[in-house]
Structure 1
Amino acid sequence: MTTDNKTLVQRALAELLETGSVDVLAPLLSDGFVHHRPDSTSSTKAEWLASVQAAMTPLADMRVEVLHVLADGDHVMMHSRRRLPDGGPEITVVDIFRMDEGLVAECWETIEPTAHAAANLAWWEPAGR
């Protein structure tokens, strides 16, 4: 099952990037799908699909480099770097998917501008060090 879950997530991303349409994603998400962001906001399946579709036009030429895809039971984690076209900024993204009965039931997403990574490596150190 872990391999099937990993394959489903990889296929979903590839088809989204190839077609530019969330129509390929919708059948892969459970009806109760929830997308979680680090700021504690969540969106439903319909809300998330609408936001992804809205982003597809300006991000149509975004390059995605998948660095890791790991699966453990009903969870799949994808670590990627994404570069905007024409020298735009690069971001590092970690998505964690929870699968249920062959569909994506939940997703947690963390996005960090790659240029900010060094500053974020020492967030725990006291100021002035």
Structure 2
Amino acid sequence: MTDPSTAERARIARAYYDALDAGDYDRLADLLAPGFVQRRPDRIFEGRDRFVAFMRDERPITDTTHVVEAVYPAGPGVAVRGRLLDADGDALFAFVDVFDVADGRITELETYAATDG
């Protein structure tokens, strides 16, 4: 595995949110390693296909926008702080995502979320 540069890690993290917000699930799948794992407060997703299927077919609100407030690409991964907005622009929750990236793909994502707006 090759370790991407800090600029490449930041680009990949931003592309993840762009793909989700656009509903471009093929692009999302391309950004994730086959063995991708996401850990979040309410559940764990194991495998790229399972995660993409949830995002495409099962998540309760799909008309959302991720507002990225800060990207911290220095270190072994990249951390992103932001807010998830609904279709009206109201904040659903604040989040911090911590990505592990190898060979140009996201291998793991740890999501921390606060529901107090």
The match for 1:52 is 55
User: What 5-or-longer segments of structure 1 have no aligned partner?
Assistant: 116-129
Identity %: 24
**Deviations along 1:5-27, whole A, 9 cap, x unmatched?**
11111122123313x13111111
- Residues 75-86 of structure 1: matches in 2 within 5 Å? 75-86=77-88
- Residues 94-113 of structure 1: matches in 2 within 5 Å? 94-113=96-115
Instruction: Return the TM-score normalized by structure 2.
Output: 0.80
The match for 1:38 is 41
The match for 2:24 is 21
Structure 1 vs Structure 2 CA RMSD: 2.3
Whether 1:11 and 2:9 are equivalent positions in the alignment is: no
* Structure 2 SS opposite 1:72: coil
Q: Contact 1:89 / 1:113 at 8 angstroms: preserved in 2?
A: no
Work out which of the two has the higher radius of gyration on C-alpha atoms and give 1 or 2: 1
* Shift of residue 51, structure 1, vs aligned partner: 1.1
Give the number of the structure with larger relative contact order, counting CA–CA contacts within 8 Å between residues 6 or more apart: 2
Q: Contact 1:2 / 1:74 at 8 angstroms: preserved in 2?
A: no
* Shift of residue 56, structure 1, vs aligned partner: 6.4
Q: Contact 2:38 / 2:45 at 8 angstroms: preserved in 1?
A: yes
Instruction: Return the TM-score normalized by structure 1.
Output: 0.74
How many residues align? The count is: 113
